[in-house]
A and B are shown apart, each in its own frame.
Chain A
Amino acid sequence: MRRRHFLSQVGWGSFWTTVAAMFAGLARTLYPNALYEPSRRYKIGFPSDFPAGSVTARPEERLFVYNNPGEGIHAISAVCTHLGCVVNRTNEGFFCPCHGSRFDASGRVKAGPAPRPLSWYRVSLAFDGQLVVDANEEVKPGTKFRL
């Protein structure tokens, strides 16, 4: 390699490296390190608030809470697994208003573009006796929490 060719490459290389490093630094700043979002562990009330056989919609937490007589309690996410719209519940199951996905009462996909069934979340009991739904932790569909 000729010397002037080498020096030219070093020059251009350092120029573009500087530019790239500057933009990489700027982009890194836009990537937040701390989030101030609400916790995704929801305290939803005492078991007595959910009578046997009831289905309770929790719009704030985007959940449906079921109390199945003799089987226990389970919580299904109301967020469509397709593109994140909130589904509506009917007796046959769940309907997404945005792109027409349909799910049966246990959240299995029946029609439409949704790639996965609706999430089932871990239900547990807090020390004060209230039910806790942890939206960070999915469980196998069919898993129910017995008191």
Chain B
Amino acid sequence: MKANRHGEGMLGGFRRNARLLFRNLLDSVVRHGPVDTDQGRAEIMNQNFFLHIFPVSVHKNTLRFGYTLGLGVIAFVLFLILVVGGIVLMFYYVPATDQAYQRMKDLEFVVSNGNLLRNIHRWAAHGMVAAVFLHMCRVFYTGSFRPPREFNWVVGVVLFFLTLLLSFTGYLLPWDQLAFWAITVGTNIMSYFPFVGKEMRYLLLGGNEVGQEALIRFYVLHVAILPVLLLAVLGVHFWRIRKDGGLSRPEEDASPSAPVPLPAAESGAEVFPPDTRKTYGLMELVRGRTPMVDRGPEDTLMAWPHLVFRLLTLSILTLTAFMILSLLVGAPLKDIANPQFPENPAKAPWYFLALQELVSYSAFVGGVFIPFLTLVALMVIPYIDRESTGTGVWFHSPRGRRIAWLAGLSTTAVVSLLLFLQIRTGGMRGLYPDAPQWLVDVINPASLLLLYLIVFFFVTGYVTDSLREASVGLFTGFVTALTTLTIVGVYLRGPNWEFFWFWQSWPVP
């Protein structure tokens, strides 16, 4: 019998390996050392598949909650909740017009935790729309789309659009009154798209009428095409953050010279001290400035634990918050779809009510032209505003902050005035009962609001001679208009889309 390197025979080796089986298995799975040294903390980030999308060390500004507000992370956590919960919901849901609504009732009353799961899927979808939008605002107001990050902003706008589409296709599936009339209105808005609108509607509905074919199409979009697309684009979004040098940060933080103490919570330790001997082996292959000479490299902290534990904390906080919300508040479910009558009023979820208000002025201008223009305008922001000052500073400068206030207040006033005139006069048709349709399309609150924002942009730009500050004004005007119109849609519109004050009760039909 041959002895192995431990001097044991075959049986001895078997006993030894069997005894160490679990240990060896663990060692082969977890390959990093203990995390009680910086070596180990670097290894775990590098060797763990799930952690290796993060850098080994991150700049201290990246961890500043007041800078990011954690919005991107919250949006991603909500997406994970939606994917995991959504897959379980798929086991019970049937995309058939004669079954879908009953399946909702099953989830509500029969399936264990079904109601909770449906609630959290709905509320997390609301939350994701809000979080993605607020994340976009954060990135805009801190000027984080500057080169080299300009394309990642475009990717982000695409992600925002995909989030809206996922949410829209999702609330069509219960086949309740909201679902049926939202498909009807949504696909009809699409048919106003020039040239290809009618064909797009036919393709999306799988025919001319809202029915079984439409339901299965929206189902496949919701559970397969859109999530996969979003995940792929999200991958690009995350990857680009790394390639663009992590999150943006203010200028003064970009070139530190002295060691910076850790935030108060982790007092006692120090961040990486400046190290003038640090070199980069890949310097000939990477773009950007050469390795710093006579200066400390970065004000960085080890990602493990500083970044990873913050992410985990934010994740469980998000999950807990939405769990509590879902235990307390049920997701809306209207009556079963009735193709003969819509509800009165028939309101979309809050994040589409600004759009519903806009199409109530003109289907083409409010439903196609302005949304399309807004998307294009959002995408080109980083190619128009290419100034380099004030990156990483909220609202760019004190003057930028004042312009944001001015834009916010004046846009609120303009929206209120336009709404007042529209309701008082009945709009173009109220003034001139025989007004042709093109006049109704050209002169209405939606188009006048757009005109105001464009004028505001150029006047601010002329006065301040700063594209950045003009953009701050325009973006703030856009956000304010969206918010004001949403409030009008949610609280101030009643049956037949008529105007009612908060305190006025709706007439009983």
Residues of A within 8 A of B497 (CB): 96-100, 112
Residues of A within 8 A of B217 (CB): 30
Chain B 315-371 residues near chain A, CB threshold 8 A: 340-346, 356, 359-363, 366-367
Binary per-residue interface labels of chain A (94-107) against chain B in the complex, 1 for a CB within 8 Å, 0 otherwise: 01111110100000
Contact partner, A113, options B208, B213, B345, B440, Cβ 8 Å: B440
Tell me if B42 counts as interface (CB < 8 A to partner A).
Answer: no
Which of A59, A60, A88, A98 neighbours the largest number of chain B CB atoms within 10 Å of its CB? A98
Shortest CB–CB separation between residue A141 and chain B, in angstroms?
15
Shortest CB–CB separation between residue B349 and chain A, in angstroms?
15
Given contacts A97-B342, A99-B360, A113-B362, contact A84 B188 (CB under 8 A): yes
Q: Are B363 and A82 in contact (CB under 8 A)?
A: yes
Q: Are A32 and B345 in contact (CB under 8 A)?
A: no
Q: Are A113 and B359 in contact (CB under 8 A)?
A: yes
> In the bound complex, how far is the Cα of B430 from the Cα of A85, in angstroms?
22
Of all chain A residues, which has the CB nearest B433? A110
Chain B 181-237 residues near chain A, CB threshold 8 A: 181, 184-185, 188-189, 202-203, 206-209, 211, 213, 217
Tell me if A128 counts as interface (CB < 8 A to partner B).
Answer: no
Q: Are A83 and B189 in contact (CB under 8 A)?
A: yes
> In the bound complex, how far is the Cα of B437 from the Cα of A32, in angstroms?
33
**Number of B interface residues in the complex (CB < 8 A):** 40
Tell me if A1 counts as interface (CB < 8 A to partner B).
Answer: no
Q: Are B340 and A85 in contact (CB under 8 A)?
A: no
**Number of A interface residues in the complex (CB < 8 A):** 28
Tell me if B429 counts as interface (CB < 8 A to partner A).
Answer: yes
Given contacts A83-B185, A109-B429, contact A100 B360 (CB under 8 A): yes
Q: Are A62 and B340 in contact (CB under 8 A)?
A: yes
Of all chain B residues, which has the CB nearest A79? B184
Residues of B within 8 A of A115 (CB): 363, 437, 440
Q: Binding site of B, secondary structure by majority: helix, strand, loop or mixed?
A: helix
Residues of B within 8 A of A139 (CB): none
> In the bound complex, how far is the Cα of B437 from the Cα of A115, in angstroms?
6
Shortest CB–CB separation between residue A79 and chain B, in angstroms?
9
> In the bound complex, how far is the Cα of B362 from the Cα of A82, in angstroms?
9
Shortest CB–CB separation between residue A8 and chain B, in angstroms?
25
Shortest CB–CB separation between residue B252 and chain A, in angstroms?
46
Tell me if B426 counts as interface (CB < 8 A to partner A).
Answer: yes
Tell me if B390 counts as interface (CB < 8 A to partner A).
Answer: no
> In the bound complex, how far is the Cα of B209 from the Cα of A76, in angstroms?
19
Chain A 91-131 residues near chain B, CB threshold 8 A: 95-100, 102, 109-113, 115-116
Tell me if B4 counts as interface (CB < 8 A to partner A).
Answer: no
Given contacts A86-B341, A88-B344, A110-B429, contact A97 B208 (CB under 8 A): no
> In the bound complex, how far is the Cα of B207 from the Cα of A37, in angstroms?
8
Q: Are A35 and B208 in contact (CB under 8 A)?
A: yes
Given contacts A59-B341, A85-B181, contact A99 B359 (CB under 8 A): yes
Tell me if A31 counts as interface (CB < 8 A to partner B).
Answer: yes
Tell me if B498 counts as interface (CB < 8 A to partner A).
Answer: yes
Chain A 36-81 residues near chain B, CB threshold 8 A: 37, 59-60, 62
> In the bound complex, how far is the Cα of B209 from the Cα of A62, in angstroms?
13
Q: Are B361 and A35 in contact (CB under 8 A)?
A: no
Residues of B within 8 A of A82 (CB): 188, 359, 363
> In the bound complex, how far is the Cα of B217 from the Cα of A96, in angstroms?
28
Given contacts A86-B341, A109-B429, A113-B361, contact A98 B346 (CB under 8 A): yes
Residues of A within 8 A of B208 (CB): 35, 37
Contact partner, A98, options B181, B203, B362, Cβ 8 Å: B181
> In the bound complex, how far is the Cα of B498 from the Cα of A62, in angstroms?
23
Tell me if B496 counts as interface (CB < 8 A to partner A).
Answer: yes
Shortest CB–CB separation between residue A92 and chain B, in angstroms?
12
> In the bound complex, how far is the Cα of B181 from the Cα of A31, in angstroms?
23
Q: Are B340 and A84 in contact (CB under 8 A)?
A: no
Q: Are A97 and B359 in contact (CB under 8 A)?
A: no
Q: Are A112 and B184 in contact (CB under 8 A)?
A: no
Q: List 29 A-B contacts (CB under 8 A).
A: A30-B203, A30-B206, A30-B217, A31-B202, A31-B203, A32-B206, A32-B213, A37-B211, A59-B341, A62-B340, A82-B188, A83-B188, A83-B363, A84-B184, A84-B185, A85-B181, A85-B184, A85-B342, A86-B340, A86-B342, A88-B341, A88-B496, A96-B497, A97-B343, A97-B346, A97-B497, A99-B356, A112-B497, A113-B440
5 nearest CB pairs, A to B: A100-B497, A97-B344, A59-B340, A99-B360, A83-B188
**15 more A-B residue pairs beyond the given contacts A95-B496, A98-B342, A115-B363, with a C-beta to C-beta distance below 8 A:** A30-B203, A30-B217, A31-B203, A37-B209, A84-B184, A88-B341, A97-B497, A98-B181, A99-B356, A99-B359, A100-B496, A110-B429, A111-B427, A111-B430, A113-B361
